[in-house]
Each structure stands twice: as structure tokens, then as C-alpha cells.
Structure 1
Amino acid sequence: MTTLHPTLAHHVSNTLGWPRLRPLQADALTPIGDGLDALLVAPTAGGKTEAVVFPLLSMMEERRWTGLSVIYVCPLKALLNNLLPRLQRYATWLGRRVELWHGDVSASRRQSILRDPPDVLLTTPESLEAMLIGTRVDHRRFMGELRTVVVDEVHAFAKDDRGWHLLCVLERLTHLAGRPLQRIGLSATVGNPGELLSWLQGAGTGRPARVIAPETTADSRSPDIELDHVGSVANAARVIAALHAGEKRLVFCDSRRMVEELGETLRGHGVTTFLSHASLSADERRRAEEAFAQARDCVIVSTSTLELGVDVGDLDRVIQINAPWSVASFLQRLGRTGRRSAGTRNCLLLALSRDDLLAAAGLLRLWGTGYVEPVQPPPDPRHIVAQQLLALTLQEGRIGDSLWPDWWDGLPPFERRSAQPVLDHLITEGFLERDGGMLLIGPEAEQRFGRRHFMDLTAVFTAPPEFTVLNGSVEIGRTDPTSLTSSVQGPRLLLLAGRTWKVDWIDWKRRRCFVEPVEGTGGEARWTSAASGGTSFALARAMRDVALGADPPVRLTRRAVDALTKVRAEISDTVHPDGTVIVREDGDLRWWTWAGYRGNATLKATLGSLADPLHRVDDLYVRLRADLTGPLRHADLRALHPRYPQVDDRALNGLKFNTALPRELAVETLAARLADFPAAASVLSEPTRLLVR
């Protein structure tokens, strides 16, 4: 099939007023229509949604599909909510239905969907899992006509355990449907699209597949990017308030706390400001995003939640506080601008400190080389294997103790030599029970995961406990418990949704906090931050290049030039173009490797007794034992073989379902994820210089 269904083609031309499809949309018609697995790669607003939906709707009509034919998976409920009206409009042209299923959809609406399945279902992996383990869903009837699964923002899934969970669920859906499911991923620019597509295929690797990423020549203009050094959040607010009056600006911050502080400060400067982050209530975020989409001369301040494809209308400018952790993330954010025909992609980066300035300059230097990080799924997802074995047992009621591998059809984590030790542990510890060749849910699983109908098994990420904040009956958002227990003088004030609230009373049992608005400022915003994973080897080396004198290919303000000059002078002893530097100063011995967090964690383990055992891993250097005498010889370093990093027992708490694993397997999983052997090997191969100050 190389053409759209006639009715759909009519509406594309006459209702949407499109003279032609975009190159990506035209290129996707035949491979998707022929049933190939595919990965569609394009920047934000590149037309990926239509590129996949138009041929699928045409296939439905041409091949007379009935029942639930397509599942469309997104990483965020907000993205699903945003897509729903657009996809419903397209489907209605052909008399087809699109429905939404996630945690905010009412029980009555879900029952209606189960009684009369739509043609397309928009959902999340966690909702799919809840559907599968739920007792009210006839899985085989509901999934029996499934043909295709679309995974939006697939790169966002693949980089963490949600991706492994999604792949496992897709294999179970394939088993229930009784046929191979066409898998189509939509992605922003990544460094390894072919590998990402093979990963998405899961057990079906080897099926015909194609990466669809046509070259775009529509806008040959270079993006307008500027780097500034402002020194503080307060100064960042002054710059934002003073520049670009009359424009619609999207500001990205690297934490919820910074979003709140910057939002409150901007409002103090008289700027119309909206906020968006994960701890605001869904209604609060929706109101902010809708108001921002319809307004002019305003700012919306957000964490990475708006990095993905949620539509907030045409933007004039993106402003980034400090720098994101990857070039891929920067490209995604940059792509939110320049959508209008006369617009140019642009970004203003505001560094809060000199360290932040070096990191931002390094990222822009890396971007300027054309580098984009490869997406690397985390290795050894043994804890996901444990979760899946329990989830499948709940789904089926009981599973054969020799037939369980069939459900994942050879997906690597479920090869017997890898998964059997996990299964044996689940049986030994009472998570599963064996009865006449069948496996059933055991008492330990009931005790640990059985609350609320095993809902804790549906998500593979650990969410810290938060208190719901309410003004009367209206939910504002959620706050960290420490903001309610820390010592304060006078009334306890919270900062949430960009304004200050006074705490009236706290319902500790139900984790609810009731507040009233107050005039002025002084509220506290506090949340437990998730680990970022630290600086990568590629970014650390780009920062080293900047320290050695290389400038990023962007405009630098006078403040940025002056601050970079001072940074280079301060750290000039830590860099050398021909290798690494060991600096001894005041009894402190540091090996400046510029290897990134994981590289230095691996090097610290590899050095063994030579490394300071009490020093926490740093992104740029490894602290050596201060009593070492003489330099580390190059030949001695080259003879070392990289070793897995040591794992702190406290880190196991961040690995969800670690209690369902033998401790040694949980430690091995975390060690493999912390290691960067190529980075360590690269550093060990480089000459070292000793400097005594």
C-alpha cells in the first residue's frame, strides 16, 4: 500500500488543508502499510504522529480490521490527554473510535471500553500491566484482534527500566493475540536508531524492519543559541523578565524546587508565569498548559515534563537554566521553537554557577560536533524478570513451571540460564508456590505487593512518598514529607504552584496537608531528587576541551566570556591535552581523569587500595590515597583491568523489586549499571602527569 484511504486523503487535503504530506509521512506509508516494524525519527513537531496514524487507519479500512486493532503507548498521561482529541478527529473521518485508558480515567468509562472495545487505545505501560493482572478484564477477548503497537517517545522508554517492562508486556500481548504484532516506535533524534529499533522488536528481532528518517532541508538556517552566566536564580529571573517582552517563552529547569523558586520570582517581577512539573496536580498542570497555549507575552517554567511532545502552542523562545544532561535532551528542547514558517530554532542558556557554565559550554561543544548519545537500555534487568514472573502468575492464575518462558519467546532477560535463578529464589522465599507442576502466587508476594490488588506490581519505578496538598477540596499538588517535619519558627509555609501557602493542619494517616494562601513570599519547596546518573564520558571530555580553551559554536555573552576565562585559569592545572593529570596539594591527591561519573566509579574500583575508600565518586576526578608516594606509572596503569564498581547497600533500595531477588543478583545488576568499562579503559591507556602544588 502506497496511498492513503480515499476518505482520509480527502480530509487531509480539504479539512486539514495540507497540499502534500511531509517527507517523513510520505516515506512511512509503504513500510507501515506492508506491516514492517519501523522506527520513525524526527525532531519535535516533525509530524511523526500523523506519519504512523494515517497509514494505520488506512489499513483498518482496507483490511476490515475489527475490535481493538492498535495500542498506542506513551510515557506520560499528559501526552496521551494531548493526543486524544487529534486522533479522535482523524479516526472519526473513517467511522473509527479512539479511547483513552490510564489512572485518571473513571471506572465507569473503563467498563464501557471493555464492553465495546475501540479501534485504537491510548495508554501507558503501567495501565497495560494493571489491565493484564486485573480480574475484570477478559484478556484474550479484549486483545484477541490486536495487530499493531505504537510506542511514542520510544527513546524515553528505552533508557531506563520502563523500557524493559514495556518490552515484557508487549511479548505477553503478542502471546495473548496469538500473532506477531507490528511494532512502530516514534523517536526524537538518537545516535543509534538501528539498535533502538532492534531493541523495540524484542523477541521478534529478525522480522523485516526499517528506520524511517528522511533528511530535512526545509530549514537550513542555523539555530540561534546564546550562553550567559547569571550566577543565581534571582538573576536568571531578572534576565528573563527584561528580555524578549511580548514573546511566549518556555523555561526548562533541572528540578521541581527550581521551577517553583523561579516561577515565584518571575511573578514578583510582574511576568505572567505558569508552572508545570510532576508534583503539581493534573488539573493544575492542565490549567497552566492551556492558559499558556492561549496567551501571549508569558512564561511557562517546567521540568523535563514538557520536553516531550505535549502541545503548548507556538513558542517564540526556549530558555534553559543550566544545561540538560544530554545532547539528545537539548535537541528535543531546542525543537520546541521555530515551528512557524518565519521562526528560527533558538535557545538561551543561563548558567547559575561557574561549574554550571563549564557543563553548559561542554554540552554545546559536544552538540556542535554533531554528536548525539546512543540510547543504551540498562543491562541485566533481573528485578524486572522477578516482577514479570509474579505479574504473569497473577494474570493467568497459575502458570506451568516449565512453560513460563513461552510467554516471552526468547527475550534475552528470560533465557533460562538468566531467569531460572530468579525463579528459584521466588519459590524458595515464598513469593511463588509450586503445586503439581504449576506455579501460584505465594504468601510473601501477598504480603509485600498485595495491597490495592497488587497495584504496586504495575510500575517498575519507585516513587518517594509525598503528601497531597489541598486548599479546601482543591488539590494543588504534592510535597515531600520533610517540608512538613523540618523545624520552623512561626507558621509553616510551603511554596507550590508558584505561590506561598500556610499549613493549617496535617492528616498524617492519610498523607494530606491542608493549606491557605497567604500574601508575600517565604514558602519552602522541597522534594527528594532522583539520581541523574551523572556526567557521561563524552560530556566530561567535552568539558575538558572547553577547559583547554575550546569554545562552543554559539554566541557567548560578555559575562559568559569573563566567567569562562576565570574557570579556565582556576582549573588549568587539572587538564593536559596529551593525557591526564594527578595533582598533589595540601595532602590531597586527585587524579583528574575527566571520565564522567560511571567512568570514575569503574576506575575507583579498578585502582583498589590505591583509591581513597572514603571518597564519594566525582564526575571529573578520582581521589587517591594521600599517603601514596611517587607517581602512578603509565605502564602500571595500562596493566590494570577495569573492575565493576562497589555497590552501597543503600543503593539497593532504589532498585524496585530488589526484595524479590537474591542479594548477590541485585548487587550484580546495580554494579553492571554503574560500570563504564570503555571510559575506564580509555583513561588507563592515557599517559599521566604528576603536579605538586
Structure 2
Amino acid sequence: MSERALDKLDPVLVHHIVNTLGWQELRPLQRAAIEPLTAGSDALLLAPTAGGKTEAAMFPLLSRMTSDSWQGVSVLYLCPLKALLNNLAPRLDRYAGWVGRRAAVWHGDIGQSGRRAVLGERPDILLTTPESLEAMLVSAKVDHRDLFSGLRAVVIDEVHAFAGDDRGWHLLAVLERLTHLVGRPIQRVGLSATVGNPDQLLTWLQGAGVGTRPGIVVAPESGRSGAVSGPPQGEVELDYVGTLANAATVIASLHGDQKRLVFCESRQTVEQLGHLLREKGITTFLSHASLSADERRRSEEAFADARDCVIVSTSTLELGIDVGDLDRVIQINAPSTVASFLQRIGRTGRRTGSTRNCLFLATEPDGLLKAAGLLLLWGRGWVEPVVAPPQPLHIVAQQILALCLQQNRIGDRQWVREWNGLAPFDSTAEPILRHLIDRGFLDSDGGMLHIGPEAERKFGRRHFMDMTAVFTGPPEFTVLTGRVELGRIGPSVLTEEVRGDRRLLLGGRSWRVTHIDWQRRRCFVEPADGGGKARWTSLGTQGLGFELARSMRDVLLGEDPPVRLTHRAVSQLAVLRQEHAGRVHSDATLIVRGDDGDDVRWWTWAGFRANATLVANMGGLVDPFQRFDDRFIRLRDGVDPAIWKAAVPDRDQQLRMPEVSEKALTGLKFSAALPTELAMATLGARVADIRSAEEVLADRVRFA
């Protein structure tokens, strides 16, 4: 092992790397990360799944811990999933033990005795989630100033999973409050799979410290840009099977004596496929967010120890949770992003001599087209940029309220310092603060602010635990057999009319409903010999992105992804190309009138957000009732080239944001703590895709 790569690491740690782990050499990322991390730089470490990112971050930080005599909780290790924390904890505690240090876990599933142990004997590394970190800051039982007094560094695992949604804004704001609390900069280290914009992600990660602290992207296997270099690696096959039942038949007949991880895009599909596979005698385990933590853990542990078996999962197993040595990844239809696919295919090929692989099974024509478009982007080496949602004004409101809980009272002129100038948690938030006071979320007394009655009414349940989560989930019922919790189910399954027994499908098994406690949202069940439904309510999705929609158009124009296509896939793609022949063009968008003359559609192939933006700017051209989806916008009858030219915005005209309904505010948590116009503006900005809409308007338009 290269001495130059190791001379900055603690010698005891090096001894264990060589003799305990038996490593003859560090991986490129691990070697490249040593110098910047031991020097105290912020860093974004990029590598494919199973690329050794955890060790790349922790070996230098453990070395600093010993050389600089860090004391108490000196490193926070943040993850997006509790299961990932549980999975990592034994490994990190083992590494820490080599240099006489400890690691411990704190999250929502850790009981009071475990928390008391952490507070009584402080670990050197604390593994937690941003929500649990916030809960520690606002808890009256935790002396957060004393607990975090020794904090020096924070590692954010799967940082891309935070940065792309509101959990990322929440994470940044909490880190700034911690920085202000300890009174010194905290080194930030992000771990990520390949992303399309690593430099921007690093800038985001540094928060208010960008430009004042050194920062570096470390990506020796991906190139400095973080983009995929050269042709993508992996054996990928695309098949069209037509139905989920046929997919189960294919999975059951292939890859005997191998461990297979099957990804589905909904919990309902996971349940249905798991049930179908079990009916065929396949040893099958399930994992999704509505199964209880114990059910998921039992499945993942059993799968890790078994052979010739299948685990069917939503994206819960997309991140780095260890489920043993996988042989195959199978994808039902397609994920929505190339980044997700890279995470999933990266679960295979970890053994020496093995190859990363993925089999796509499309159960419907649209699923085949989406999969082909996604694989075409993958073949081009393109990965989505990770972009934080714009205008997180509801998170600003949440953070002001959380700060009041943390400090009991805050000065009405001093609060803005807590986030160290990070926008939008700065002086521009003054209107939000005024609204919180006017509506009773905050009380003002002699220049000091504290939690008001409206905040207690809206968010005060369970000691304000609702304050620490930034998402609103649809209502669900807890399902129990005896005293054992199986998971949660959507209410529609319990309210629809049925003949005879009401049966559920949960955990891939059939259950008969014996009692429903409507007030406490509990459903009691017992095993049944078959049948049942699984269904959950969704708060809606943003649809396809611009690049994926355009890539699907390229497929329809005749371009094939660089993967093996089965005869069934080739045949169905030919059918799709024939059906869409009059809806795609290589250098124009098409306006097509239906055979009856009434259905006029503008086939933009621009994705949901770009089409929403176009609709907001097309005046009277758009059908007011059935308006658009990812691929087309429905126009009014009678639109001709002259009417079109008169109504379409000029290229130099600034486009408006889409209008949103007040009903949509139910999915924006803490929207009640915002003025309605600001909450609506937040949602409008998030539905918009101005850049892509402008690109569509710059295209030629043909009337077919």
C-alpha cells in the first residue's frame, strides 16, 4: 500500500486497514480524499454505489479525531433513512473502536434508554437524521449546547437525496444553526453517487460558508465534472412482458439459485408482485415505506442470509442499505431518473469477476417507452443535475418556529443571525416573521418572541414532533395482527364497498380485516388464504422531466438505447413508433387535430413542468378543462397558424409562473404559517420549468 497515501492517516488505523480488513490498497476515492479532509476542507465525494465512500470520509476524520484530540460528539453522520443508519452503525463503531473511540445511533426508533445512554456517555460519532437532529435541538430533555460543544465535522451520506427536495433546505438551515451554536465553522463532507452538477452541489452543501472555506469535489473515478466518462458499464436488457403476472412468470423462471432485487415504482406494485411470486413458490421478501420497521428489517436480514430468493422493493433499497451480495437487479417498467437507475444497477457487480447488470421488464407500452428513453440517456452518459427546490418559504417559517422552541425566546432583531446570512433564512424573511406574529404562531413581548397559541394548536402534538418533519403525508391506517404492527395502508381500501370479507394485501400476504378503529386509525387483521388489495393515496407527482420526455421522442423517431432488446421489446417498440408516427418530428413540435376534428393536441414532448409553464403563457389557446400531460397540451378547437402566431409569447417575453390551486397547499407542510400569496408563489415556482419552456417555444411548430 502506498506510503504517500497513508502518511496522513493515524498509524493505528492504517494497521487495522492492512491487517484487520486485509486491504492491500485503498480505492482511488479513498486515497484522493485523505489530503483535503485531513486539512479540514469541505468536500463532495463522488463514487458509484459500493465505491467505498463511507471509508473515504471516515478514515481521515478518525485520524483528525486522534491527532487533534477531539472530544465528545465531534462528528455527526447524517443519513436520509433510519434503516441506512442502523446498517452503518456497527461498521462505523468498529472503525472508531480501532482508535479508542465510539459511535452510536439516535433516531425516531431509538427508545428512551438508548437516548439516555447517548447523553450519559457521549459517543465520538453520532449517526442520526436531520429530523432527529432538529428534535434534539428543540427538546427540553437535551442540553444541546453541551451535547454539541465539541462538534467539528458533519458527514452527509447520500447528499443528493437531500439536496433535491425540501429535506435539503431543512438540513442546511439546521447545520447553520449548529454552526452558530458552537461558534466555529463545521467541516462538511457530502457523499454521493454520480450527479450531473457536482460543483453546484458542493456550493449548495457549503451553505453560508461558500467562498469563506475551502471546498473540493473528489471524483477520481468519474472525472472532475462528476459525469460518466466513456460508455456506461453494465449488462442491461430491456424486455416487454405486457402484464405484472407475466413479469412474475419471467422472474420465477430465470436466474435460479441467485439473489434478485426487484425494483417497482409503487408500493401497490410491490405488494402485487410479491404476492404473485409467492404463489409461484418463490422465496420472496418485501420492502417499502408503509411496512413496519420490524417487517422491513426481518425481510432485509432474511434476504441477506438466503440464496435463490427475491426481494421486491420500492426506492427504499435504492440507497446504500446492505442486503448482502446481490446477483441480479430487475426493474419493473422504469424509474423517473437516470440517477435512480445508476443507484440501482450499482447494487450488483460488487464481487470480483462479476458485472453490474439490470433486466428491465416493461408491463405496459408506456413503461417500455419510458424505459427505452431513460436507457438512451444513460447510454449518452447524461445524469440529472441535483437542484434544490426554489423558494422554500414554508421551511423558513418552520425554522423560525423551531428556533423559538430551541431557545424558548428569541430577540425580534437577533433571530436573523442564527443562519449566518444563508438565503432565504436572512433579512428577506421579515414578512414571514410579521405574518407569524400577526396570526398568533408567535407572541411578541418586549422585543422577545416565543411560541404562540396557533403554533401549539397546529404543530404542538407529541411535544412539537410535527415541527421537525418537512413533508405532509396522506392519512394512513396502522395494520396490526394481534399486537404486532405489519405496516400502514391507505384508507380507500377500508371504505370501498365489498361483498363478504374485506381483505388486504400487505407484506405480500393476504389478511382478513376483523376490526377497524376509525378514531385511532387502526385496522386489525388475521391471516387469510388469498385475495386482497393494496392501495395508498398519493399527494401527486411532478411527472417526467424535459430531458426524459425528449429522449422518449428520440426513441419514437427510431433511436434505440445501447442495451440488449428482446424480440418482444423490438416488436412493441415498432408498434409504438407506428402509433406515434404523426406526433413526433426531429426538428419541430407538432399540432395535430384528431379524426373527429375536436381533439387538437400540441405534441411538445417537454415533460410536465415545462408544459405547465407553457399552459400558463398560452392565453386562450389552451383547452380550459383537459389541458396537458408530460407529452402534449390540449388546445381549443379552431386553432390555426394565424391564431397561433398571434397568441404565442415572443422569444424575448418573460414567461409567467404557472397558476396553482389553493387546494394544492395541503401538500406543502407549514403552508398555514405563510401568507397565502407566498405559499402559492412557492408552489408556482416549483411547478415551473422556464428554461425548458423557452426551448420549446424556440422550436419550429408544424400543423399536421
Smaller-chain TM-score bracket: over 0.9
- In structure 2, the CA distance between the partners of 1:221 and 1:163, relative to structure 1 (3 Å rule), is closer
Equivalent residue, structure 2, for 1:443: 453
Q: Does 1:659 align with 2:664?
A: no
Residue from 154, 157, 162 that aligns with 2:162: 157
Q: Quick check: 1:526 aligned with 2:551? A: no
CA–CA distance in structure 2, aligned partners of residues 681 and 97 of structure 1: 54
Give, in whole Å, the separation in 1 of the partners of 2:381 and 2:312: 28
Evaluate the alpha carbon distance shift between residue 248 and residue 578 of structure 1 in structure 2; reply closer, same or farther with a 3 A threshold: same
Preserved CA contact (<8 Å) 1:581 1:592: yes
2:66 corresponds to 1:55: no
Q: 2-side partners of 1:322 and 1:530: how far apart? A: 21
Tell me, yes or no, if the aligned pair for 2:292 and 2:485 is still in contact at 8 Å.
Answer: yes
Distance in 2, Cα, partners of 1:39 & 1:630: 51
The 1:635–1:373 alpha-carbon spacing in structure 2 relative to 1, beyond 3 Å, is farther
| Correspondent of 2:257 among 219, 222, 246 | 246
Mapping for residues 269-280 of structure 1, pairs under 5 Å: 269-280=280-291
2:624 to 613, 638, 647: 613
- In structure 2, the partner of 1:6 is 11
Deviations 1:405-447 (A, max 9, x none): 1100111112312x11111100111111111111111111111
Match of 2:275 among 264, 269, 294: 264
Task: Determine what percentage of the aligned residue pairs are the same residue.
Answer: 64
Q: Is contact 1:221–1:344 with CA below 8 Å preserved after alignment? A: no
> Partners in 2 of 1:507 and 1:578 — Cα distance?
59
Choose from 623, 646, 657 the match for 2:659. Answer: 646
Q: CA deviation at 1:636?
A: 5.9
Are positions 1:515 and 2:525 aligned together? yes
CA distance in 2, matches of 1:142, 1:98: 14
Deviations 1:507-561 (A, max 9, x none): 2222211111011x21110111243311100001100101111111111000000
State the partner residue of 1:491.
501
- Alignment correspondent of 1:364: 375
Q: Which of 282, 293, 298 matches 1:282?
A: 293
Match of 1:546 among 544, 555, 562: 555
**Residues in 2 aligned to 1:55 and 1:590: alpha-carbon distance in whole angstroms:** 58
Q: Is the 8 A contact 1:261 1:498 kept in 2?
A: yes
Say if 1:632 and 1:688, in contact at 8 Å, map to a contact too: no
Shift of 1:612: 1.1
Structure 2 vs 1, CA of residues 343 and 532 (structure 1 numbering), >3 Å: closer, same or farther? Answer: farther
The answer as to 2:578 corresponding to 1:578 is: no
**Superposition CA RMSD, Å:** 1.5
State the distance in 1 between where 2:545 and 2:300 align: 32
Please state how far the C-alpha of 1:478 moved relative to its aligned partner: 1.0
- SS of alignment partner, residue 600 of structure 1: helix
1:148/1:182 contact within 8 Å kept: yes
* 5+ residue gaps, structure 2: 1-5, 224-228
Task: Check conservation: 1:2, 1:33, Cα contact below 8 A.
Answer: no
Equivalent in 549, 572, 580 of residue 563 of structure 1? 572
The C-alpha deviation readout for 1:567-620, integer Å capped at 9, x for no partner, is 000011001112100001121110000110000000000102111121243000
The one-letter amino acid paired with 1:583 is: V
The corresponding residue for 1:432 is 442
TM-score (norm 1): 0.98
Shift of 1:222: 3.6
**Conserved? CA contact 1:634–1:686, under 8 Å:** no
**1:209 counterpart (215, 227, 246):** 215
- What does residue 25 of structure 1 align with? 30
Go from structure 1 to structure 2 and tell me whether the alpha carbon gap of 1:357 and 1:226 turns closer, same or farther (over 3 Å shift): same
Alignment match, 2:607: 596
Maintained 8 Å contact 1:255/1:529: no
Q: Distance in 2 between matches of 1:4 and 1:635?
A: 68
Structure 1 residue 652 displacement after superposition: 0.8
Other structure's SS at 2:398 match:
helix
Judge conservation of contact 1:37–1:209 (CA < 8 Å) in 2: yes
Structure 2 equivalent of residue 112 of structure 1: 117
Q: SS of the residue aligned with 2:510? A: strand
Supply the distance in 2 between the matched residues of 1:235 and 1:215 (Cα, whole angstroms).
39
| Within-5 A mapping of 1:330-349 | 330-349=341-360
Instruction: Indicate conservation of the 8 Å contact 2:231/2:379, yes or no.
Output: no
Residues 92 and 491 of structure 1, relative CA distance in 2, 3 Å threshold = same
Q: Aligned AA for 2:187?
A: Q
What is the Cα deviation at residue 223 of structure 1? Answer: 1.0
Paired AA for residue 674 in structure 1? V
Q: TM-score, normalised by structure 2?
A: 0.96
Shift of 1:93: 1.1
Q: Are the equivalent residues in 1 in contact too, given 2:665–2:679 (CA < 8 A)?
A: yes
The count of aligned residue pairs is 689
Residues 338 and 345 in structure 1, CA contact (< 8 A), matched pair in contact too: yes
What is the DSSP-based 3-state SS (H/G/I as helix, E as strand, rest coil) of the residue aligned with 2:626? coil
**In 2, distance between residues paired with 1:220 and 1:533?**
30
Q: Which residue of 2 aligns with 1:301?
A: 312
Greater alpha carbon shift after TM alignment, 623-632 vs 465-474: 623-632
CA distance in 1, matches of 2:489, 2:204: 37
Does the aligned pair in 2 maintain the 1:67–1:118 contact within 8 Å?
yes
Secondary structure of the structure 1 residue equivalent to 2:366: helix
**For residue 473 of structure 1, what is the aligned residue in structure 2?**
483
1:635 to 1:212, Cα distance in 2 relative to 1, 3 A: farther
Residues 360 and 220 of structure 1: is their aligned pair in 2 closer, same or farther, counting only changes over 3 Å? closer
- CA distance in structure 2 between the partners assigned to 1:57 and 1:100 by the alignment: 17
Q: What is the distance in 2 between the residues matched to 1:338 and 1:648?
A: 47
Partner of 1:387: 398
Give the aligned partner of residue 404 of structure 1: 415
Runs (4+) of structure 1 exceeding 6 A deviation are: 216-221
Rate the CA distance shift 1:369–1:114 in 2: closer, same or farther, 3 A. Answer: same
After superposing the two structures, state which structure 1 stretch, 631-640 or 37-46, moved more. 631-640
Q: Counterparts in 2 of 1:24-173, with a 5 A limit? A: 24-173=29-178
**Any idea what SS the aligned residue of 2:535 has?**
coil
CA contact (8 A) 2:232 2:381 kept: no
Distance across 2 between alignment mates of 1:85 and 1:102: 15
The answer (yes or no) to whether the contact 1:426–1:432 under 8 Å persists in 2 is yes
Aligned mates of 1:673, 1:219 — CA distance in 2 = 34
**Structure 1 unmatched ranges of 5 or more:** none
Secondary structure at the aligned position of 1:461 is classed as coil
